[in-house]
Structure 1
Amino acid sequence: MRLAIRLVGALALWLALGTAFAQRVEGDRAGAQGAYQSEINVNGQGEAERNAGFARALSQVLGKLTGTKNAAGLPGVGQEMRHARDYVESYDYRQDEGRSPSGAPTFTTTLIVRFDQDQVDGMAATLGLPIWPEPRPKPVLWLAIDDGRGPRLVALAQTNAARAVLDRAVERGYRLGLPAGSAAEQAAVGAIWRGDTAAIARLSSRYAPPMQLIGKLYRAPEGGWTAEWTFVDSGKVLSSWEGTQPDARRAMATGADGAADALSKKYAKRSTAAGEPGRYTVQIDGIRSSEDYLRAVSYLQGLTVVRGVAPVRANADALVVELDLITGMPGLKRMLGTGEVLYADESELPTSSTVPVLHLR
């Protein structure tokens, strides 16, 4: 039974350096929404556009839960996205007004989707998706930007200058904080620029957790902007990467993506409750005709956890098949649910010499 109903203009740098005394977790504007809510720009409010928006929203939510940039590419997720509306708890629309470069008013329609947490969690468990657990760390962003006037630190008073990376982190399911901007922290720009991660880690010791996303952003010689990044966890470099983009904001966002990849790789764990992927031999009782055979096999082929069905042999009133599963038998049985077509009798526990049995209604 199918799992049930149920996100180069000029870079906005600072006007003046301010004073602050504590790290503030950023990203509130982009995502006061929870992990199970997403906002998607759509072209209209018709059913087809809405259903496509539901699918994109579900992909974003699963991206937050798993820490995976391309959640739609995880085993089974693409198929479930076709039924994204079944996971929707509620939705509404928001109209945002803006201005085109010519000054003419523009309007953007945003679809706000709230998914049923239990249903999404159930689907993730059934598919055996890796889950990045809560609470999640909030690394400190140490970013220096050189727009041609020399590198300067982006501190708390310059939040808007770092908006692209802060918002992207929220889209990936975590938040970044900014340093307060003390004189000592401002002087750390040189350490950032020469890649002295140990010096930044020492300076960042007043903040929690002991994680730093260290980056420098500058104009690329060939045009556009280049961002170089290093992610440090408890003094250890987890990952280093760089990206060049025509737009400074897009180059900046690569920092949040790389940090999310490093964090989820370390902390996201796949539940073993659904079993291990592989090939499993299963007996299906109640097969008394070709129609029964077609109904059972077609049903199995339509299940998200089933990659393939290969008949092995036919017995009296029974069919033995080999199932290629993206999870194990527990995941299959969870997806069968109450069993509108096939069901598993939990009282019939297979032994080492028998195969699991499913029953055709």
Structure 2
Amino acid sequence: MRYARLFALLFIVASLSSFGVPARAQSASASLYAGEVPVADQSDEQRAIALKSALAQVVVKLTGDRNAVNGEAVAKLIESADRYVQQYTYRQDVANVDGQPVLRLSLVASFDRGALDRVLRDRGLRVWTPAARAPVVTWIAVDDGNGPRLIDGADPAGRAMQLVAEQRGATLVWPRIESPDQAQTTAQIVWEGDVMTLSADAARYQTDTVLIGQLRRVGDAWSARWTLALGGQAQPVWESRDADLATALSAGADGAVDRTRGRSAAITEERRITTARVWVSGLQSAQDYARLFETLGGNDLVREFQPEQARGDGLLVKLTLNLALDRWLAYLPPEGVLRVVNTAPPIDGVEATLALNP
């Protein structure tokens, strides 16, 4: 059994790596400060209402708390949404309703990051910083009586789960499965809840957080069992049940966010100031340098940074962080401006190497 499990582990990791295909993921950090709301028209009245709704969405994403908008202090903030909006635009989409094309209009608004962070903290709310939002590698297996099969973000129920996570500012990562044999083998491993095997590949996505869901059809409802693994260690299991598969899956997303938010709070309390030198490559222009400096300057876990040496397309940067370097590297979003190349490079005076994404 030991060797069979080892073979399964190598099968998953080797298969994912050999295809060289990135996981499907939605980057939450890119849209944390933006909201989108359907509107009937472009009138001033509709816009004023939509801006308030868009800001309410942003508050939920920034805090990760669905109930954050219920307090009196936040209600007053939302009433003043026009004070914090940086820009807005309208988007038209064509939806299919009962076989007929229907034109739908939405207002998309982005809000001032610095101002919102300050005002939320002033009102006693903790902003769940982008750097502290570990992506969640998500493995879901469902059994409707014909044996377990995998569900991912391409499935309608998976998309509903993805939406719930995005509404709370979280990122789900769906590892891509390329062959029927791989899907069948992996579905069985997910169904068995093998935390060690399923956590083995999480480091590829700069995270140590894995969500495992097993959903079984029982009568007219779906019964779900959820496990969140942090650093390869399974946390207490929780369950959900609903007649609708999408709703049962959404409970898994909500549970994962609740638990990862709590973990982030604990990490925040344990912060300590550290210094480290990192080498950043891929800097081809003044615009690339500007992107790097803006990213470091906007990262709440970076107290300060100081360029020390430039050579070729690279730059040596001294970082002063609010936590250990390995924790900071783990919180870099997989589709962000920076990606980790090596966490232990054989270079004197350099503790990690990174690269600027195109």
Q: What TM-score comes out, normalization by structure 1 length?
A: 0.60
Q: CA separation in 2, counterparts of 1:208 and 1:33?
A: 17
* Residue of structure 1 in register with 2:163 after alignment: 167
Note the C-alpha offset of 1:51: 2.4
Q: Secondary structure at the match of 2:130?
A: coil
1:242–1:23 Cα change, 3 Å: farther
Match of 1:129 among 122, 125, 128: 125
Q: How many Å separate the matches in 2 of 1:48 and 1:257?
A: 33
Q: How far apart in 2 are the matches of 1:59 and 1:270?
A: 26
Cα deviation digits, residues 78-114 of structure 1 (max 9, x gap): 222122222111212212212222x223222211011
Determine the C-alpha separation between the residues in 1 that align with 2:240 and 2:41.
Answer: 34
Q: Which residue of 2 aligns with 1:216?
A: 214
- Assess, with a 3 A threshold, how the Cα gap between structure 1 residues 66 and 155 changes in structure 2: closer, same or farther: closer
Distance 1:206-1:47 versus aligned 2 partners, 3 A rule: closer
1:207-257 superposed Cα distances (whole Å, 9 cap, x missing partner): 54121011123434134x343321111123345333333432232222222
Asked if structure 1 preserves the Cα contact closer than 8 Å seen for 2:24 and 2:175, the reply is no
Query: How far off is 1:269 after superposition?
Result: 7.5
Matched residue pairs, number? 251
Structure 2 residue identity aligned to 1:217? L
Counting helix residues as a fraction of each chain, which structure ranks higher? 2
1:141 is displaced (CA, Å) by 0.6
Aligned to 1:356: none
3-state SS of 1:113 partner: strand
Matching of residue 179 in structure 1 with residue 175 in structure 2:
yes
Q: Is the 8 A contact 2:87 2:109 kept in 1?
A: yes
| 1:256 has 2:248 as partner | no
Identity %: 32
Choose 1 or 2 for highest CA Rg: 1
Please report how far the alpha carbon of residue 63 of structure 1 lies from its aligned counterpart in structure 2 after TM superposition: 1.5
- C-alpha separation in 2, matches of 1:170 and 1:153: 21
Please give the alpha-carbon distance, in whole angstroms, between the structure 2 residues aligned to 1:185 and 1:239.
Answer: 27
Superposed counterparts of 1:261-280, under 5 Å: 261-268=258-265
Alpha-carbon contact 1:169-1:260 (below 8 Å) kept = yes
CA distance in 2, matches of 1:147, 1:106: 34
Give SS of 1:213's match: strand
Cα distance change, pair 54–241 in 1 and its aligned pair in 2 (3 A): farther
Distance 2:268 2:147 in 1: 48
Query: Partners in 2 of 1:32 and 1:110 — Cα distance?
Result: 21
Larger RCO, structures 1/2 (Cα 8 Å, 6+ apart): 1
Correspondence 1:189 to 2:187 = yes
Instruction: Mark the CA change 1:169 to 1:218 in structure 2 (over 3 Å): closer, same or farther.
Output: same
Specify the alignment match of 1:96 in structure 2: 93
Shift of 1:21: 3.6
Structure 1: which amino acid aligns with 2:125?
L
Task: Tell me the alpha carbon deviations over residues 166-222 of structure 1, each in whole angstroms, 9 at most, x when there is no partner.
Answer: 333222212121224376674242342233434433465665412101112343413
Map residues 262-341 of structure 1 onto 2, 5 A cutoff.
262-268=259-265
Whole-angstrom distance in 2 between the partners of 1:60 and 1:91: 15
CA distance in 1, matches of 2:204, 2:92: 42
Alignment map for 1:137-176 (pairs within 5 Å): 137-154=134-151, 162-176=158-172
Find out whether 1:201 has 2:188 as its counterpart. Answer: no
Of residues 43, 52, 57 in structure 2, which corresponds to 1:55?
A: 52
Cα distance between partner residues in 1 of 2:100 and 2:206: 46
Change (3 A) 1:25 1:252: same
- Supply the AA of the counterpart residue of 1:245: D
Instruction: Pick the aligned partner of 2:81 from 77, 80, 84.
Output: 84
5+ residue gaps, structure 2, are 1-15, 270-358
Contact 1:192 1:214 in 2 (8 A): yes
What is the root-mean-square deviation in Å for CA atoms of aligned residues?
3.3
Per-residue CA distance 1:255-302 (angstroms, 9 max, x = gap) = 222111111112147999xxxxxxxxxxxxxxxxxxxxxxxxxxxxxx
Cα distance in structure 1, aligned partners of 2:205 and 2:85: 38
Contact 1:220–1:244 (CA under 8 A) maintained in structure 2:
no
Q: Is the 8 A contact 1:60 1:71 kept in 2?
A: no
Q: Could you tell me how far apart the structure 1 residues matched to 2:90 and 2:116 are?
A: 22
Q: Which residue of 2 aligns with 1:24?
A: 23
